[in-house]
Amino acid sequence: MRAAYFAFDRFPSSKGSAVHIGQMAAELFDRFGGGLLGVLGGGGLPRYQREGDVRIARFDEQIPNLIDRAEAYSHWVARHLAPHLETLELVHVRDPWSALPVLGHRHKVVYEVNGLPSIELPHTWPQAAPATVAKLRRLEAHCLEQADAVVVPSSVIGDAIRRMGINPEKVFLVPNAADPAPTTRPDGAPERYLIYVGALQRWQGVDVLLRAFARLADLTELRLVVCSSVLERRAKPLQRLADRLGVAERIVWRFTLPHDEVAGWLAGAAVSAAPLTACPRNLDQGCAPLKILESMAAGTPVVASDLPAVREILGEDGRLVAPDRPAELARAIRILLEYPDQARAMAARARDRVPSWADSRARLAEVYRRV
């Protein structure tokens, strides 16, 4: 076995991260003639699986505490790596839990940074101790320094990595991408609707979108479709908010849809919204939301928060609004709905600037060649 890919993420799943893992891992295994894919499991996924020349192993221990689970996963990675240390040439990882056990051996390591746990953890668990966050920051820095190459999906994340003191010559941009997909209008889709696609964490700004949608109450035929990548129980606080705002009956919720079904919902929408908040996770660290790229590839007009990471993707071909301001978001949506010809022209320009997965995979292949 010449190559391995490890990620502290469930695969497959309805999350954007799973789409990214699928593309990046496919490039690695195409180049090295197969290999080992180590990911998270659960939810009925088999612990071990074989797909052609690729062996898939899934960590499925149910450990409630995140740090304990991450440490157990790191030991699991080390055990699965050990039999192949004499033949492995390259290991691709997505997080420090995967990186730590693969460093220090003869093979090369490519560390793909889509997020930094030291920045994201306080948003998911606000009561995380500062000492714990500081340890995570030191762990990240160690793994980044020791990796042979660092891959980032956006320039904003790349800048964050360089500010940590990592050698800029080993940081490579491999952007997120999207391919146009053949779509059919979903059964039961409203005649006219806005759409939000993605997870429901606080930094996604879905609460801001609900408040903006409440300001469009005069558009009685308009609906909001939320295609959530997480289970329905995670939406309960937002559903209660929608009820308090008086818009619950005008919202269509869809949970953990297969990726190809989400494409149909995107293509049929009048507007796609990405109301990211102005928090350190989105500003200091940065992001590269697949929901925006896939909306662009579907030819759907996008309204999104005016953040550096979003401007990098959309340029002038989307409607950008100040984050965390429901009134401005509602006004931007209303303008796109009232001027559909201009909205469609903007969406057509956006579609032309979306990188394809073939382009991104070619960039990744060049990183592999360099190391």
List pLDDT tens digits, range 193-212.
999 999 998 999 999 999 99
Q: What is the pLDDT of residue 4?
A: 98
Asked if the model's pLDDT at residue 183 lies above 90, the reply is: no
Residue 239 structure tokens: 């559903």
Same domain membership, residue 262 and residue 171:
no
Residue 256 phi, psi (nearest 5): 45, 50
Same domain, 203 and 100: no
Does one domain contain both 118 and 208? no
154 and 256 assigned to the same domain: no
58 and 19 in a single domain? The answer is yes
The answer to the question of residue 248 being in a domain is: yes
pLDDT at 124 over 80: no
Whether the per-residue pLDDT at 306 is higher than 80: the answer is: yes
CA triplet 371, 33, 49: central angle to 5 degrees? 115
Average pLDDT, the chain: 94
If asked whether residues 243 and 119 sit together in one domain, one would say no
pLDDT band for position 252 (cuts 50, 70, 90): very high
Tell me the sheet residues that pair with 251. 224
325 is a domain residue = yes
Question: What does DSSP say about strands 35-40 and 54-59: parallel, antiparallel, or unpaired?
Answer: parallel
Claim to verify: residue 164 and residue 26 sit in the same structural domain: yes
Q: So what's the pLDDT on residue 285?
A: 86
Q: Which residues pair with 112 in a beta bridge?
A: 151
Same domain, 205 and 218: yes
pLDDT tens digit string along 347-369? 999 999 999 999 999 999 999 99
Same domain, 329 and 363: no
Same domain membership, residue 226 and residue 169 = no
- What pLDDT does 28 receive? 98
Q: Which of residues 317 and 43 earns the better pLDDT score? A: 317
When divided into structural domains, the chain yields a total of: 2
Structure tokens belonging to residue 263: 């494409």
The domain of 341 spans: 193-352
**Is residue 184 assigned to a domain?**
no
Residues 56 and 114 in one domain: yes
In a domain, 96, yes or no: yes
Per-residue pLDDT averaged across 253-265, rounded? 91
